[in-house]
Amino acid sequence: MNNLKKALSLLALGLIIQSLGCEAETNLYVAGDIADCRTESFEKTDAFKTAALVKTHLQNDPKALVVTLGDNVYQNGTASEFAECYGNTWGQFKDRTLPLPGNHDYNTKDAVPYYNYFGKQAGPDQLGYYSINFQKWHVLSLNSNLTGEAQQKQIDWVKKDLADHKDMCTIAAWHHPVLSSGMHGNNAIMTPFWNILQSSGALLVLAGHEHNYERFSPQDADGTSNTFNGLTEIIVGTGGVKLRPFGKPIHNSVFWDNTSHGVLHLTLTDEQVEWQFESIDDGTNHDRGILTCHSSN
């Protein structure tokens, strides 16, 4: 069984994956807020265009994977929307996708169509969170739609998961950004997770929800600059749904764009992650850079 099939098979069992092999690098293609076929057929949507961009990369790199950041399909995350809209766009590489849910996926009760569509790839027991390893990298896919007891169980799980992987470089992904200059603004629901991740030496947080692209310099959850062990947050809500305007950029926002759809390309190598925003419009409005792992505190 090749590395990719082995990884997805273990994920289907709801286990923490220990390794995807010894390759020098892992490429991930990331975006949220994706498929919307309410006003036009799927082949005319921007989700179809971003899917074509991703598909080209996947064809050139059989080990590459896709990460979604929620709101996978609009408007209500129904079974028919997943089958007819997401399925014909980003569903073309469903078997190579690591998904997470957004609020629109939960517009249908308990996000049942989302969990039915992705199956065990969405994590064990329809909880919406899981983790996966890539060489020295540990990636958590979390569920920002939970409240109450379910949220506390996720917090407890994250603490244990991070303790079990304390010597690894860590990235976390969820739907609702903690800090944002976009239409929805800041959202405190995931602040506890930010603080736990930061105290564990995590490096990068990925989010969607805002229909734009925005990157922040390293900071604490309250927006205080912190170049020592702050988290870098990147919002990538550019998977295909209609883009939205920004408000006034908030403190520590260093790059923002709402003019083009695209995906964030992450290359994980040893203890560094290189990022590059790739637009469907000939690669315009690039954002790129490199981050080096934090040591555990």
Beta pairing class for 169-173 and 130-134: unpaired
The pLDDT score that the predictor gives to residue 281 is 87
Please check the confidence at residue 23 and state whether its pLDDT lies above 70.
Answer: no
Q: What is the pLDDT of residues 262-293, one digit of tens each?
A: 999 999 999 899 999 999 987 666 799 999 99
Nearest by Cα to 243 from 216, 201, 208, 288: 208
The pLDDT score that the predictor gives to residue 282 is 72
The pLDDT score that the predictor gives to residue 294 is 82
Of 3.40.640.10, 3.90.79.10, 3.20.20.70, 3.60.21.10, the CATH number of 3-292 is 3.60.21.10
Please check the confidence at residue 15 and state whether its pLDDT lies above 70.
Answer: no
| Contacting residues for 157 by C-beta, under 8 A, at least 6 apart | 129
Please check the confidence at residue 240 and state whether its pLDDT lies above 80.
Answer: yes
Average pLDDT score over the chain: 92
What pTM does this model have?
A: 0.91
Q: What is the pLDDT of residues 65-74, one digit of tens each?
A: 999 999 999 9
Beta pairing class for 65-68 and 25-31: parallel
One-letter-per-residue 3-state SS of 158-175:
HHHHHHHCCCCEEEEECC
One-letter-per-residue 3-state SS of 94-117:
HHHEECCCCCCHHHCHHHHHHHHH
Region label for 46, one of left (φ > 0), alpha (ψ between -120 and 50) or beta (otherwise): alpha
